[in-house]
Structure 1
C-alpha cells in the first residue's frame, strides 16, 4: 500500500480547464471517496492518478515517487470500472489469473492466489463459469477479485456499483468496506452518490466544476460544511435553506418571520445577508416555533416519516421525523430548530459563518 498525493494538479482540453489545481493527500491505508455531481471532474481525476489520462500541470505522487511520466501499467495500481470489463470468452478463473500470467507469475503461485481471493470474495464456486452466466453482483466480485489478486499498492474504483440495483448496492458497499478492513490497502473510490460516500469513506473529497470544495472525515463534512454547496450536497434529504438578514440579535427571514440567533458560534455583521441552513432531521415541530410551513406531501416509512412542504415565501422545506407523523396535506405546521443545530452562511460568498 502507498500514500497518494496530488500537488496543484490541473487538466485542460485545449482552452477548457476541467481540473483547476487540486491539492490532496490520501494517507497510506485510507479509504478516500471522490464525490460530486456529474461533470465535476472526479472520474477524470481518478484517471489522472491511474495514468490513463495525462495531466496538464502539477504532480501525482504515489508513495514517494512522482509518477507523471510513468505508464499506467507500471504504477502498481489496480482499477475497478463501472462496466466490469471482464473478458467474456474466459472463465472466472482465467479472468482472475490473466493479469498474473502477463507478468510471468509461476503457475502454482497464480493458482494459490486465485483460490485465496475467490474464497475471500465468495466466488470460489463460480471459477469455471463465464461472465454471461453470472449475476451483476457476481460479475462485480470477479472484477474486484481481478484487482485484489494483483496485490496493488493502491486500489482505484470508478463508480463500480452504478449498474447494480439498490439492494445489491447496499450489499456490495458492505463487501468493499470489509475488503478494505481486511487488506488495509489505500483505496480511492469515485461515486456521485453521497450516501455511498458517507457510509464507506475514511475521508471524502467533495468536488465541483474541477475544484476541491472540502476534504475531510464524513461527519466533519456533515456537521461542519465549509460552504453552501457542501452543506446541500452532503446529507439526504439535503439541508433546508432560507434566505434572511441579520437584524440585531435576530434573523429576519425572507418569509417575513424572525428567529433568535445563538449568542456564540458564528461571526456576522449587522445587516449582513445570510442563508439559514437546517437539516431535515434537526427541524422541530411545536407551537413555540418561529416558522410556519404548509404540508404538501407526507412519506410514511413506518419507523420514520418525511414531510415536504412550502414556506411563506414559496421556498421548499423537508422534515425527517422519527415514528409515524400525523400531518396531512394542506396542514399548517409551526416549526423551529435547536440553535445549536442551525447553520449560517454568507449569502454572497456561500462560506460558512461558523467560528467553532
Structure 2
C-alpha cells in the first residue's frame, strides 16, 4: 500500500485535508492515509496523531507561552512521519508548524507538497529561499502566487480556491429561519471572529461592543455566529452577556443556511480578516473586515507587510471593495459604522456585491474543482499505482 501523510493545523486546513483525501481515494482506492487533522479528516478514516486544536495559534507573542508544548508536538510528528516513511507528506497551511515539520523530514528523502502557499509574498519575501529548501511543490490558491514562487525555483500548481466548492452560496434560508424561530422583523447579521482561541478572545469583545452600537441604531438586528468546534465553548462564554442573544451555529450546513438567511434579508457581516471574507463574497453578503493582534506583533508586521490590503477580496479586485478596520481602526464605533452602511444603503451593498463577482472570477483554476486539481498534483508525486 502507498501511504500519504496529511497534516492540517486548524479548521480550514482540516476541511481541505478531508476533501483532498476523498478526491485522492476516488482516483487511487489503494492509497492509505495517516496524519494530523480534525473532524473532516476523521470522517475520511484518518485519526489524528494528536488533537489538532493545539496548533491553532496566531501571533508572535501569543505563541510564546506554548512554545515548549509546540516543540514536543513537532518532535512527535517528526518521529511518526519518519517511522511511517510515507510516499509523500502533504502539509496544509499553518506554516509555523507544518513547514518546520517539512524541514525535519525532507532530508530523509520524503517528498513534501505544501497546500496553501504561505503568504511570504505579502510580508516576508526573503523567506522564499528557505521555503525552497523545505518543499518539492506548492499548491497555490491564488492566481498571482505562482509567478512569485516559480521565480524562486519552486514548482507550483495553481489549483483554485476551495471556497468555490464550499457550498457557501447553497444554503437554505427558510430552513434557518424556521430552525431558530427568527421573527419577520429580525434581520440577521453574520459575525465571524475566527477559529483560533487567540482570535476569539481578542476580537469577540470588540465585535460585541460594535453590535450593541449597531443594534441601538437599527433595532431588530440579530447576530449569528458560526463557530468551529475547538472554540465553541469560548464563544458561548464570550457572548453570554450580549444584550441580543446570538444564534450560534455549528457545522457547514447550518453555517451556509445562515449565510442564505442573511443574504435573503439584506443583512451584512462583521468578519475577521482571512478566508471568511471570501466566504461572504461567495454568499453575496456585504461585510466589513476586522482584525487586531497584540500591539508588539502589529508593530513588527507593519514593518514587514508588502501588500496594500488585508482582505483577499480587495487583493483580488486590486481595490477596496470591502472596508477594512485593522488594529487601531478596529474599534466598536468604526465597526458599527461600517456594518450599518450596507444595511442602510442598498447602493453600497450592491457595489460590494459587484466587486465580489470581479474578485471571485480570478479564483478558478484552468480545469476541475480545487480539490480535484490538488489531488491530481499530489498523484503526480506518487509512484504509479
TM-score of Structure 1 vs Structure 2, range by shorter chain? under 0.3
TM-score, scaled relative to structure 2: 0.26
Question: Which structure carries more helix by proportion?
Answer: 2
TM-score, scaled relative to structure 1: 0.28
Question: Which structure carries more strand by proportion?
Answer: 1
